Structure 1
Amino acid sequence: MRKLIEQPFTSNPQGKVGKSHPHESAIRQVSGQARYVDDMPQPANLQYAAVGTSPEASGTLNSIDLTAVWASPGVTDVITVDDVPGHVDIAPVFDGDPIFAQDQVLFNGQALFAVLADSVQHARQAALKAIIDITPSAPCLTVETAKQQSNFVRPAHFMQQGDFDTAFGRSELNAQGHLSIGGQEHMYLEGQVSMAINDEEDRLLVYTSSQHPSEVQKLIAEVLGCKLHKVVVDMRRMGGGFGGKETQAAQWACIAALLAKRNQCAVKLRLPRMQDMIATGKRHPFENSYQVGFNQEGLIKAADIDINGNCGHSPDLSDAIVDRAMFHCDNGYYLENVNVAGHRCRTNQVSHTAYRGFGGPQGMIVAEAMMDAIARKVGKDPLTVRKLNLYGDKERNLTPYGMTVEHNLLGDLIARLEASSDYWARREAITQFNKTSPIVKKGLSLTPVKFGISFTAKHLNQAGALLHIYTDGSMQINHGGTEMGQGLHTKIGQIVANEFGVSLHDVEVTATRTDKVPNTSPTAASSGTDLNGKAAQNACIIVKQRLAEFYAETINESELTADKVIFADNYVTLGPHSVEFVRLVQDAYIGRVSLSSTGFYKTPKIHYDRSTGNGRPFFYFAYGASVSEVSIDTLTGEYKVERVDILHDVGRSLNPAIDIGQIEGGFIQGMGWLTTEDLKWDDRGRLISNNPATYKIPAIGDTPEVFNVDLYPRDNDEDSIYHSKAVGEPPFMLANSVWCAIKDAISSLTDYKVDPQLPAPATPEAVLKCIMSIDPDATRSEPS
């Protein structure tokens, strides 16, 4: 493995952006000193909560006998939906998510009641003692059944460009395919946890592992029947979120808050891992299909794409997630005549929710499946077909939703990766290897990524920040984003330090709190740094202007105006005059200059009209490409990812080390989704892949032996923070190349004439089944 980070960590006195500063909590995290919610000092009157859940996936809830629960050792309170003083439904957007089940149970593992006790053990033991009477009904467990029953959580949505029917009828060749795409467990290291503490005069302080503190604040206030200003939510750091704590952390915080208010004591609720996996939503499984018309060269002329998300029992965020799958079913390819349909299917499963990529991966993989199918049909290398169909000039740059693809980097980016990875030489070597290797076959694939950056719900594209400078020159910045290990606080600290030209050590990024920056958006959609970084910068600009004007006034030379003041290297300079930053701050305080400010930012240019299916839902696109090489054992279906080469576009990187870490982590997580992470429900709707022993995430041994990652050297053309680009979600979809490389290896069994119908995840069992479906004798063939 070659060295990935050319730029070493810097200890320069100025906290500049573009340098590889270590994560602000790195030392605390590796030494065990980083404080998470479960590590908070325990209040003297702390009690512990546990949740009782439904054993059925669907049915009528007749009664719950809680007599034995109340009699269990250590129990101080038990609550059901009847004990909620305010709102019962805690859905984030559309109704359908009761805090506890009411008349009907909607999925196996749904919360029915909560117990409060003097210890975690007592609470959890008591929760098992309820006698639950449910009249079960036949659950809807598949997309196919939901469509047959016209059972949807939200209406379908459609996008259209050109004339599909005419163009498809005139196409020289065509292909069809169906793709089953599995969901994914978030498997955050820190599970769902909240602690609620009563304050004076009916105030409540809640510590929670949530990506959306403002939503938690709102829902707690609604459940308790009080105003939002009585609730403060504090979130210092999460041990991973990946979308699983965007909406679904709120329920457990609401239960803890309700019990705290009822009993006038502090309450902590932490779900055990198995219950966490059963009771919280996953990445949406999808069932997608396509038909595509193209010419002899492999150029697409028409495409019809049907997208079907398994949403679980309620809408949650599914409307936007299926929208994003639709927005990304083109990936980087121009679809001249296209129809796209998106269906939101209701099933009796846990309500599926946000996950890194937010539906984009489930849409984008359809585009890659189409490219492979076309390549096998026309007898060309899939990379040749991919390059042929890329978005291009003014006549080939309009998406199915009417957005113009500007500043398209994929042509150059792919060409660079094609050369640096020695794609064509390796393709020739692999083809020759497969001709002479009877059992082990190798595959190679290069796939691109074009991912739109912005919340598709326009109002979420806003952020605030609060800056304080103290008289010793140190400063605190608070913003609405949450730190879940991705390095957001580190980048915000760099931005503030860079603006004032001071040391990063002089900037403290404080815990995200609803009483400092209100009405915040979730940290999601890869927009944490884009939004909050700009808000923090704007707060800095306001205070810098005040300091500059004050300094110019003290110098009092007409030609030396405030706009010429420079903040750099812990000094403030104006012409021949210079003063230490800390001295200027102290003088400004004596001069009664405000050293505090809020900052605000809203993303420009974005709009989308759902009634027409047209608009510009994204501020810009982030691009990338990856090459994966795999080897498979055709007798067992086992495989190994041998080598990966990635070139990814992050604009002008704020912190190359953190960005490369995000790319590596996102790729491996995406590889897990497409290869090993296999969610399984039984015919009663019970999740049976409900613990780390039955659900396999990638381990260190799954990391490719050769793993090359480089950053594409180009600033963002849009006015993002320092012309950087988002890096949280786009790298996840680079893992499509692994899935396509496995298909490539299987296709070699037919001399690359057949496109294998391989589901995701491509587990060894699925790979072996796919091999046998192509040619039952293929695994026993002798070399030619």
Structure 2
Amino acid sequence: MNVRPNPKDLTIRRHVVGKSYPHDSADRHVRGKAVYIDDMPDLPGTLHIAPVLSPVAKGVLKKIDAREALKMPGVVRVLTAADVPGHNDIAPILSGEPVFADGKVAHVGQIVAAVVATSLAEALQAAHSVKLSIKEQTPCFDVEEAHKAGSVTLKNQHLVQGDAAGAMKKASRIFEGKFRIGGQDHFYLEGQIAYAIPGENGEMTLWSSTQHPTEVQLHVAEFLGQPANDLDVQVRRMGGGFGGKESQPTIIAAIAALGAKLTKKPCRFRLRRDDDMEATGKRHGYVINWQAGLSDEGRIDALKVEAMANAGHVADLSGPVVTRTLTHLDNCYHIPNADFLGVAARTNTVSNTAFRGFGGPQGMVAIEGIIDTVAREMGMDPNELRAINYYGDTTGDLTPYDQKVEDNRIRDVVDRVMQQADWAKRRKAIDAFNRKNKVLKKGLAMMPVKFGISFNLTALNQAGSLVHVYKDGSVHLNHGGTEMGQGLFTKVAQVVAEVFGLPLEAIKITPTTTGKVPNTSATAASAGSDLNGAAARNAAEEIKARMVAVAAQKLDCEKAQITFERGKAHGPNGSMTFAQLANDCWFQRVSLSAAGFYKTPKIHWDGERLKGRPFFYYTYGAAVAEVVIDTLTGENRCLRADIVQDCGKPLNPAIDLGQIEGAFVQGMGWLTCEELWWDKSGKLRTVGPSTYKIPGSRDVPPHFKVSILDDEPNREDTIFHSKAIGEPPLMLAISVWLALRDAVSSLSGGKMPASLDTPATAEAVLFAVEDMKRRVAAQSSQ
């Protein structure tokens, strides 16, 4: 059983951790002073690269004719698969995922070649002159067709608990249906980019906008046919990542590095927005088939789900994405008999990849759609059906993958959000509004979230750090995490400042680099603060222990009597400044440098059986959303959102608040307005803000109230008993989709479930309204 944190850990007065500090680059962000890779001035002789993309979804690549391009002004050379000195394979997990198309093309927008020129304009112009000879073949764009034909990127995953078939036969009520869940483009502000700077003896500095510097280092080294220690991958900040810069940047970095290696000059490769959207992966779209067996009281006795993900043309990260979908199909509900099948279907679209939530959101959309549908079919309030099926508070119910839910806060979190949102009063008011209004209809819905924190692959749950204390008392901090706007660097610096009893400004934040901290994991899975914060604390504590010994000698006391606070080391007989102590340590030849390491405890996972403890702990949250729809046009708006989010003991409440708000709005965009649309040839037509609608400031709910729960520390020994915050709030936006379904359902008096998939665009809402009207009319005529 889990135990509560050591009370001593919680009664210590914190001076830096737990306080609200601004993002370390916030001032530079708003003033345009923050330096991104494309802001770095060109070194003398820098060359620029532009991609040549496949115009065909599937075919045999017979010839690449670059003769005309090579004659154009400024063109230095054209890179293809034939120029790769190492392995033309960039697969993050499996193999057979080429950087350059070689012998065949598998989606429109696949990189076939790259033009290297003295300017970006010259490179782009020449790229259009490269002629591709491709013998076209019949592509597949449909997930269900691919699955039926057995076209998958990896073998199916099957998660089984209990006897779903037997329980289904005994169930009092059986329901079934299908959902289609759309994908989503990351639409980061900074596109994919890399800047490769060759050195001597094969060495290279590679600036990459990546969430995973180690992956870039290792795979680019293999691509170039060199050892990893030839490459130093660096990143100070990204202009957004959201998972889109976990595996995808390696392709861009590899091409930039190849250009630098072959020309012996610095090479910069950045994708324009339209090329970026065509060539890089998205959130996986899904088709969900389901069957549920319930008791007359509403207990889910059995649930069968077939979750088919659109993997795209290669596997990429689809395997673990599907795994996380399967391990989040339960969400907050105890399902004793489960049969979940996960499929990664191969289609001729861009390879889909990591995206905030990493498959978890799709699993939660599925179960919440099931809850909403079944409840209305049974004549129940969806929230009543939820409450009947919640995991127990203290019983340690088993999830379908055999992890105990021992620290369940969902009832508490739901009760708080319902009170905050004044649910009962507003439910009556909205029902009255809907009875009076024929055109405008309102909807109200609540969404609970239980989200597991840790990487699916146990080995990825590790991190390293490097901390130096200089003679003047200033501190240098480096760790394997990357900064993409989420405030990770600030949080980790707060941790180090707290250990040394220093003000935050005494900690120098430095760019992530594989040359200082090796073999780190991606900044993903919401684990950045947990992993890197703990690694940095371990390094700082090691240095502090050495400094304490010197301080005790200088202050004539026992080591246990030394405390670090407000820039000084204190003992019962006096104090000395941290800078004085650092200098004394140096004078006595005491090391003031340490490499910290951390690995998440307790977790284990059997990837074949899909059983174990994949998550160190769970975070909990709940949201209530109110929407209004126009039944004549389908136009809709989220009017109000109330959120309660469990954060343990937050490291930085202000940054956490920003993460919650941003995640909710991004999730709302995925579920309501961000529609990816390919034409019949397989070409993506939504390739920019004019055709792909992301939420704007006017889409944010006018009433938007977020409450952070900090009254219950994480019972697991995380960094200062905090909880992760990056991904979980995104799923709270499912409340908006459920509220839209509720608004459409109001046309039937709330008795019929809406036929509304995601994204619930105005067009989709209008179709759902018309479908509901037909069903109501048909029922009335019987």
Q: Name the TM tier (shorter chain).
A: over 0.9
Cα 1:405/1:14, change in 2 over 3 Å = closer
Look up the match of 2:535: 535
Give unmatched runs, 5+ long, in structure 2: 1-12, 778-782
Look up the match of 1:476: 476
1:256-306 Cα shifts (integer Å, max 9, x gaps):
111111111010011111000000000000001211111222221111111
Deviation at 1:778, TM superposition (A): 7.0
Q: Does 1:667 align with 2:664?
A: yes
Look up the match of 1:576: 573
Counterpart Cα distance in 1 of 2:180 and 2:665? 21
Which residue of 588, 592, 596 corresponds with 1:599? 596
Counterpart amino acid of residue 662 in structure 2: G
1:179-237 Cα shifts (integer Å, max 9, x gaps):
10000000000001111011122210011101111111111211111111111111000
Counterpart Cα distance in 2 of 1:131 and 1:452? 48
Deviation at 1:170, TM superposition (A): 1.6
Counterpart amino acid of residue 131 in structure 1: K
* Number of corresponding residues: 767
Map residues 257-406 of structure 1 onto 2, 5 A cutoff: 257-393=257-393, 397-406=397-406
Deviation at 1:393, TM superposition (A): 4.8
SS at match of 2:397: coil
Deviation at 1:380, TM superposition (A): 1.9
Give unmatched runs, 5+ long, in structure 1: 1-12, 780-784
Look up the match of 2:6: none
Look up the match of 1:768: 766
Which residue of 717, 728, 747 corresponds with 2:715? 717
1:304-337 Cα shifts (integer Å, max 9, x gaps):
1111110001110000000000000111111111
Look up the match of 1:415: 415
Deviation at 1:743, TM superposition (A): 0.3
Deviation at 1:574, TM superposition (A): 2.2
Counterpart Cα distance in 2 of 1:691 and 1:705? 26
Counterpart Cα distance in 2 of 1:436 and 1:608? 54
Of stretches 434-443 and 482-491 in structure 1, the one that deviates more from structure 2 is: 434-443
Counterpart Cα distance in 1 of 2:75 and 2:15? 52
Counterpart Cα distance in 1 of 2:681 and 2:101? 18
Counterpart Cα distance in 1 of 2:612 and 2:219? 32
Deviation at 1:14, TM superposition (A): 8.9
Q: Does 1:112 align with 2:109?
A: no
Counterpart amino acid of residue 29 in structure 1: H
Deviation at 1:777, TM superposition (A): 9.0
Deviation at 1:476, TM superposition (A): 0.8
Deviation at 1:654, TM superposition (A): 0.7
Look up the match of 1:486: 486
Q: Does 1:37 align with 2:8?
A: no
Cα 1:157/1:777, change in 2 over 3 Å = closer
Deviation at 1:418, TM superposition (A): 1.1
Counterpart Cα distance in 2 of 1:165 and 1:47? 62
1:69-123 Cα shifts (integer Å, max 9, x gaps):
1111110111110010001111111112111011110111111111111110000
Map residues 158-197 of structure 1 onto 2, 5 A cutoff: 158-197=158-197
Look up the match of 2:60: 60
CA contact (8 A) 1:334 1:397 kept: yes
Deviation at 1:171, TM superposition (A): 1.4
Cα 1:76/1:15, change in 2 over 3 Å = farther
Look up the match of 1:754: 752
Which residue of 621, 626, 634 corresponds with 1:629? 626
Deviation at 1:388, TM superposition (A): 1.5
Q: Does 1:214 align with 2:214?
A: yes
1:346-397 Cα shifts (integer Å, max 9, x gaps):
0011100000000000111111011101210222221111111110156671
CA contact (8 A) 2:144 2:308 kept: no
SS at match of 2:62: strand
Q: Does 1:742 align with 2:740?
A: yes
Counterpart Cα distance in 2 of 1:432 and 1:378? 23
Counterpart amino acid of residue 733 in structure 1: M
TM-score (norm 1): 0.96
Which residue of 729, 732, 736 corresponds with 2:730? 732
Q: Does 1:466 align with 2:463?
A: no
CA contact (8 A) 1:96 1:315 kept: no
Look up the match of 1:618: 615
CA contact (8 A) 1:14 1:568 kept: no
Counterpart Cα distance in 2 of 1:253 and 1:296? 58
1:666-688 Cα shifts (integer Å, max 9, x gaps):
00000000000000111111111
SS at match of 2:725: coil
CA contact (8 A) 2:216 2:253 kept: yes
Map residues 83-98 of structure 1 onto 2, 5 A cutoff: 83-98=83-98
Counterpart Cα distance in 2 of 1:555 and 1:655? 34
Look up the match of 1:8: none
Deviation at 1:130, TM superposition (A): 1.3
Counterpart amino acid of residue 385 in structure 1: L
Deviation at 1:163, TM superposition (A): 1.3
Which residue of 648, 652, 655 corresponds with 1:658? 655
State the percentage of identical aligned residues: 48
Q: Does 1:134 align with 2:131?
A: no
Which residue of 636, 640, 644 corresponds with 2:637? 640
SS at match of 1:89: coil
SS at match of 2:350: coil
1:706-731 Cα shifts (integer Å, max 9, x gaps):
00000113111100000000000000
SS at match of 1:583: helix
CA contact (8 A) 1:444 1:629 kept: yes
CA contact (8 A) 1:771 1:778 kept: no
Counterpart Cα distance in 2 of 1:555 and 1:701? 60
Deviation at 1:575, TM superposition (A): 2.4
Of stretches 369-378 and 593-602 in structure 1, the one that deviates more from structure 2 is: 369-378
Deviation at 1:433, TM superposition (A): 1.4
Counterpart Cα distance in 1 of 2:233 and 2:206? 5
CA contact (8 A) 2:100 2:111 kept: yes
1:162-187 Cα shifts (integer Å, max 9, x gaps):
11122111211121121100000000
SS at match of 1:152: coil
Cα 1:763/1:266, change in 2 over 3 Å = same
**C-alpha RMSD over aligned residues:** 1.6
Look up the match of 1:782: none
Counterpart Cα distance in 2 of 1:426 and 1:310? 39
SS at match of 2:154: strand
CA contact (8 A) 2:299 2:388 kept: yes
1:517-556 Cα shifts (integer Å, max 9, x gaps):
0011110000110000000000011001000111123344
Look up the match of 2:454: 454
Counterpart Cα distance in 1 of 2:234 and 2:58? 36
CA contact (8 A) 1:14 1:570 kept: no
Q: Does 1:518 align with 2:515?
A: no
Deviation at 1:41, TM superposition (A): 2.3
Counterpart Cα distance in 1 of 2:420 and 2:78? 63
Counterpart amino acid of residue 404 in structure 1: K
Counterpart Cα distance in 2 of 1:541 and 1:564? 16
Counterpart Cα distance in 1 of 2:687 and 2:761? 18
Counterpart Cα distance in 2 of 1:29 and 1:414? 36
Look up the match of 1:432: 432
